[in-house]
Chains A and B, each alone.
Chain A
Amino acid sequence: MSEEFLGQLAGLLNGAVWTLALCSSAGIAGTAFGFVLGLGQTSSRAILRWPAVVYVTVVRGVPVLLLIFFVYFGVPLLFGVNLDPFLTGFLSLALVGAAYTGEIFRGAIEAVPRGQTEAAHALGLGYADRLFRVIMPQALRIAVPAGTGFLINLVKDSSLIGIIGFVELTRAAKILSNLTLDPLGAFLMAAAIYFVISFVISRTGNAIERRLTPKLGKRARIQESSLTPTGH
């Protein structure tokens, strides 16, 4: 019985490993593309700004499932190449992820006070120095919470890749439920694994955020906590 359970769990964990592989590769590629989109969206030049804004707006305004099918059916028709299911999943999640991270980068860059850019200009810093030395270090800290949310959404969206035939966690649970005829058990286990993945991501995000936030003194913390309402 418990050996049987372990065997089932192993099947799901194998799916979970592929979920993680899919999400980490698509997350990295999507974030890189999203960074370019974020710079594009905040560019002062219309020719750079417009394509980025249109891409981000359109992709965020359409269901993820539809975009997955677009890549699944569209890439072979448009480019004449047949992608295997992993690559299809990777490409569609990366393209979707780029739109979301592009928006996060835009928000974070715009949240850095305008005076920072002006001060960097006044010091005669070049574009790369302004971006990587002045703006990005501040923007990244602002972007961490949204980035955590993005990764959790990416993991959840990756469950849809099973539909086009790639065996990730949700698909593995579906297969298992057909074998054991116990859909409740299979999907509850899958849900638990997703929950653990999200939990680890959000804890890691919080830790990074704390590390990047300047520490307050004890007195300041007490005064801050006294500002939050308490019941009478």
Chain B
Amino acid sequence: MITIEKLHKSFGDLDVLTGIDLHVAPHEAVCVIGPSGSGKSTLLRCVNGLESITSGTISVDGIDIGASRNNLAQVRREVGMVFQQFNLFPHMTALENVTLAPTRVRKLSKADAVARAERLLARVGLADKRNAYPAQLSGGQQQRVAIARALAMEPRVMLFDEPTSALDPEIVGEVLDTMRGLANDGMTMMVVTHEMGFAREVSDRVVFMDKGQIVEVSTPADLFSAPKQARTQDFLNKVL
């Protein structure tokens, strides 16, 4: 579903990604872990073109995102993204946040978009908050609306960029539950996270990154209990 080959990315003379190769299969949930500054968020942001690529290729569902603006637009319609800071549109209600892109991009009728949005808000447990503005919602509720907003485009891939890092510890669970549900339904997912428990339990494979490179890719059972690389071992010792 997602194929990344020889990906390099630099900001000025700072190299952030130095040669990434990764393949994510359909219905696979992949968690990306690693120390801060390892380039994991940048990697995720390259997948839907929020960061331009310095060299290498990324294709989603066979479409090379770097080849043309049209390809990029096509990929963005198929890839949903959830941000660390939620990034809900502050001047729109929860319902308006969820219906905007389907009506503007997918050209859905207003009624269809509202029906879909209501279904999705119910799915993330926020049916009663449809008319609330983001400022009136807790962080966990905002993030769940953001997930519903991304799902409303019926994406084939979901990207999560540290979705729980800005949340208070006691409400991290409600967002992780929503994500667990998605993974169980077979959504293709790439998740950058610091939640090791979630990575171990939900992902099919775990990617460990450090200093702009993939150090180790493995099933969670192998990576967490028998890491092959010293750097992985080091990192896990610090965080677990």
A residues in contact (CB < 8 Å) with B: 219, 222-223, 225-226, 232
Docked-complex contact B12 and A225, CB < 8 angstroms: yes
Does the CB pair B52–A219 fall under 8 Å? no
The reply to whether B11 and A223 form a contact with Cβ atoms under 8 Å apart is yes
A222 to B49, Cβ gap below 8 A? no
Contacts of B234 in A (CB 8 A): none
Does B170 interact with chain A (Cβ within 8 Å)? no
Q: Which 9 residue pairs spanning A and B have beta carbons closest together?
A: A226-B11, A222-B14, A222-B12, A222-B11, A232-B52, A225-B12, A219-B14, A232-B49, A222-B13
* CB-CB contacts below 8 Å: B122-149 with A: none
Q: Which residue of A lies closest to B12 (CB)?
A: A222
Q: How far is the CA of A232 from the CA of B52 in the complex (A)?
A: 7
Q: How distant is the Cα of A222 from the Cα of B11 in the complex, in angstroms?
A: 7
Q: List 14 A-B contacts (CB under 8 A).
A: A219-B14, A222-B11, A222-B12, A222-B13, A222-B14, A223-B11, A223-B14, A225-B11, A225-B12, A226-B11, A226-B12, A226-B14, A232-B49, A232-B52
- Scoring B12, B13, B49 by chain A CB atoms within 10 A of each residue's CB, the highest score goes to B12
CB-CB < 8 A to B49: which residues of A? Answer: 232
Q: Mark B1-44, 1 if CB is under 8 A from A, else 0.
A: 00000000001111000000000000000000000000000000
Closest CB in chain A relative to B68 CB, distance in Å: 13
Kindly report which residue of chain B lies nearest to residue A230, judged by CB atoms: B52
| 10 other A-B residue contacts (CB within 8 Å) besides A223-B14, A225-B12 | A222-B11, A222-B12, A222-B13, A222-B14, A223-B11, A226-B11, A226-B12, A226-B14, A232-B49, A232-B52
Q: Which of B41-90 contact A (CB under 8 A)?
A: 49, 52
Interface size on B, residues (CB 8 A): 6
Majority secondary structure of chain A interface residues (helix, strand, loop or mixed): helix
Residues in B with CB closer than 8 Å to A232 are 49, 52
Contacts of B52 in A (CB 8 A): 232
Distance to closest chain A CB from B135 (angstroms):
24
Chain B minimum-CB-distance residue to A227: B11
Q: How far is the CA of A137 from the CA of B12 in the complex (A)?
A: 35
Name the distance in Å between A116's Cβ and chain B's nearest Cβ. 28
- Complex CA gap A223/B12 in Å reads 9
A222 and B12 CA atoms in complex are apart in Å by: 7
- Residues on the A chain within 8 Å of B14, using CB: 219, 222-223, 226
- Report how far A98 CA is from B29 CA in the complex, Å: 64
- Please, which residues of chain B bring their CB within 8 A of the CB of A223? 11, 14
Q: Return chain A residues, CB-CB under 8 Å to B13.
A: 222
Minimum distance in angstroms from B139 CB to a CB of chain A: 22
Residue numbers in B under 8 Å from A222 (CB-CB) = 11-14
**In the complex, what residues of A have CB within 8 A of residue B11's CB?**
222-223, 225-226
- Chain A nearest CB, measured from B43 CB (Å): 15
Which residues of chain B have C-beta atoms less than 8 A from A225's C-beta?
A: 11-12
Alpha-carbon distance between A223 and B49 when the two chains are bound, in angstroms = 19
Q: Which residue on chain A has the smallest CB distance to residue B69?
A: A232
**A226: chain B residues within 8 A (beta carbon):** 11-12, 14
Alpha-carbon separation in the docked complex, A225 to B49 (Å): 19
Q: Chain A: which residue is nearest B13 at the CB level?
A: A222
Please provide the chain B residues from 184 to 229 with a CB less than 8 Å away from any CB of chain A in the complex: none
Q: How far is the CA of A219 from the CA of B13 in the complex (A)?
A: 9
CA distance A225 to B14 in the complex (A): 11
Residue in B11, B13, B49, B52 whose Cβ sees the most chain A Cβ within 10 Å: B11
Shortest beta-carbon distance, A16 to chain B, in Å?
44
How far does the alpha carbon of A71 sit from the alpha carbon of B117 in the complex, in Å?
66
A219 to B52, CA, bound (A): 20
Minimum distance in angstroms from B85 CB to a CB of chain A: 13
In the complex, A222 Cα to B16 Cα: how many Å?
12
Cα-based distance from A226 to B49 in the complex (angstroms): 15
A223 to B11 Cα, complex, angstroms = 8
Give 1 or 0 for each of B152-168: 1 = CB within 8 Å of chain A CB: 00000000000000000
A232 to B49, CA, bound (A): 9
CB distance from B67 to the nearest CB of A (A): 15
Nearest Cβ distance between residue A216 and chain B, in whole angstroms? Answer: 14
Find the B residue at minimum CB distance from A225.
Answer: B12
Interfacial chain B residues near A219, Cβ < 8 Å:
14
What's the nearest-Cβ distance from chain A to residue B95, in Å?
28
Q: Shortest distance in angstroms between A147's beta carbon and chain B's nearest beta carbon?
A: 33
